[in-house]
Every structure is written in structure tokens, then in C-alpha cells.
Amino acid sequence: MAELITLTTDFGTQDSYVAEMKGVLLSEGPASLRIVDLSHELPPFDVANTAHFVRATLPRFPAGTVHVVVVDPGVGSSRRPLAAEVGGQLVVGPDNGVFAYVFDRNTIVHAIDVERLARPISATFHGRDVFAPVAARLSRGVPLAHIGPRIDSYQHLPFPMVEIQASTLTGRIIRIDRYGNLITNIPRSTLVGFLAGAPPGSVEVQVAERVVRGVLDHYAEAKLGDLLAVIGSAELLEVAVREGNAAHKLGAQIGASVRLSLRAPP
């Protein structure tokens, strides 16, 4: 059934780590297994960034997909390995917050019992020795209950919140993409509420000491090279430069604040 396994890691592909995991998956998974690479280029050890990545991708996949996520600075420590069911899909990875933005009250979470794998487990590479074997089993239809005991608690990671004070809304940059677009933690719904009743163009977006007026519907409404604010594909406010790189232009970094103010339109 579940013959799709996705891989999300910070391993890069210059080393043999991803290839070794694929060998284990194909040796131990169902004969018709298809492996789908999501990313091996996540920033090393960055759990919060991985949680955002998982949040953006997971809901797009068909029911029954098994997702292996290995960004795991604590490998070999006492952090637990997890397997869980989220909205009909299965996830496997470390209990360090990478799943924090997709787990909710209805998620069924199990701790992986590594003894049941009955294999040698290296100190440094649980992707190959724990997570891949468990994903292969789940993909073959082994139920979560056979993987290890159900648990009630797991690592949380607060989603960075927006502050609203009178006519000012303060968020921050949570991701910077390959094109230098600055992705904030300000959801479309929050923005819509904040702007309710205000005339179009009456909002100013301030980031890294620069000000952009208005939130556009499309990149193409700005002039080439101009700064702009737009609701991006993750339904979050983004600051971008049309066919350019906002991160370079502004010298902006993850965590920097983004302030929206209502002004009388000019």
C-alpha cells in the first residue's frame, strides 16, 4: 500500500549517508518501493527550519506516504526516535521538534523501540540504522504498535508569534529562500484582520530600516529591482525584490523584525 517513502535530511549528497539509507530502504521495504527525495540540503542541525519545511510539504502528499526526516544534532544522545501518524500519513524521525508544526492533538505518536530492530546500531547514524529500517517496516504495512510503545508527550517548538499593538503589527523573518525572498511569520489571515477596513495601500512594511508601502498581489506589479511585500506561496507575508535578491539588498537575516503600520494613504 504505502509504497512511497520521502527523504528529508541535512546530509548533503557529497557523502555516502543518503545513499546508504536508500540501500537499506530498498533492501528492507516493499519490492515496489519508490523513494522520493524532498531535500538533502537543509541547513545542518537547524531544527526550526526543518519544522517549517515539514509543515509546508507534508500536507501535499497522498495518504499512506511514509516521511523520513533526519535533521538530528542530538544523534547518540538520549533524545528518543519517533514514529507517528499525522492525518493519514506516517512520519519517522528524532523527537527534537522537527515535527512540531504538524503534530496536533489527534496525532498518534510512538517511541521507536530500537531493541525490536534486532540489528547493530551505530553511535552516529540513526538515519541508516533506526529511521530507515522503521520506515521500511511501516511501508510494508507493519502497524505503529509493533514499532514501539505509544507515548503522550514529545518535544514542542513554539511557532514564532506575531505581536499586535494598536496600529502596529510586529513579526519576523523565519526563512530566507534561494532567491533571497524574506519569509515572515505573518499569516494572510492575521494580515487581513489587521488591515480590515483600512484603505488599500495604507500599510507600511518596515524591515531592516527600509520601508515598503502596500502589499501587492503579484511580483509583477513592482518594477524590476524594486522591493515589494506580497503574500507568498506558504500563505505568509514575504518581502522580495522583483527578479532580485531581497536578502542581499537589505542585508537581512533570519530573526530580524518586520513591522507593519497603518498610515493615511499618500
The CA distance from 88 to 186, in Å, is: 28
Contact between 74 and a copy of itself (CB under 8 A)?
yes
Length of the chain in residues, anyone? 266
Contact between 189 and a copy of itself (CB under 8 A)?
no
Contact between 253 and a copy of itself (CB under 8 A)?
no
Distance in Å, CB of 165 to a copy of itself, minimum: 28
The CA distance from 198 to 94, in Å, is: 45
Distance in Å, CB of 108 to a copy of itself, minimum: 21
Residue with Cβ nearer a copy of itself (18 or 162): 18
Distance in Å, CB of 184 to a copy of itself, minimum: 14
Q: Which of 2, 5, 24, 66 binds a copy of itself (CB under 8 A)?
A: 24
Distance in Å, CB of 182 to a copy of itself, minimum: 13
Contact between 39 and a copy of itself (CB under 8 A)?
yes
Contact between 59 and a copy of itself (CB under 8 A)?
yes
The alpha carbon torsion through 191, 192, 195, 200 (nearest 10 deg) reads 110
Contact between 107 and a copy of itself (CB under 8 A)?
no
Tell me the C-alpha to C-alpha distance, in Å, between residue 214 and each of 161, 223, 228, 256, 261. Answer: 22, 14, 8, 20, 10
Burial class (CB in 10 A: 0-12, 13-18, 19+), 220: exposed
Tell me the C-alpha to C-alpha distance, in Å, between residue 213 and each of 209, 230, 262, 266. Answer: 13, 11, 10, 10
Q: Which of 13, 167, 253, 257 binds a copy of itself (CB under 8 A)?
A: 13
Which residues have a Cβ under 8 Å from the Cβ of 148 and sit 6 or more positions away? 83, 110, 111, 112, 113, 116
Interactions with a copy of itself, residue window 201-230 (CB under 8 A): 216-220, 230
What does the angle CA 65 – CA 68 – CA 74 come to, to the nearest 5 degrees?
155
Task: With H, G, I as helix, E, B as strand and everything else as coil, classify residue 109.
Answer: strand
Contact between 78 and a copy of itself (CB under 8 A)?
yes
Q: Which of 5, 30, 42, 100 binds a copy of itself (CB under 8 A)?
A: 42
Q: Tell me how crowded residue 98 is: count the other CB atoms within 10 A of its CB.
A: 29
Q: Which of 167, 233, 253, 257 binds a copy of itself (CB under 8 A)?
A: 233
Provide the binding-site residues for a copy of itself, judged by CB under 8 A.
Answer: 4, 6, 8, 11-20, 22-24, 26-27, 34-45, 52-53, 56-62, 65, 73-78, 122-125, 128-129, 175, 177-179, 216-220, 230-234, 238, 240, 243
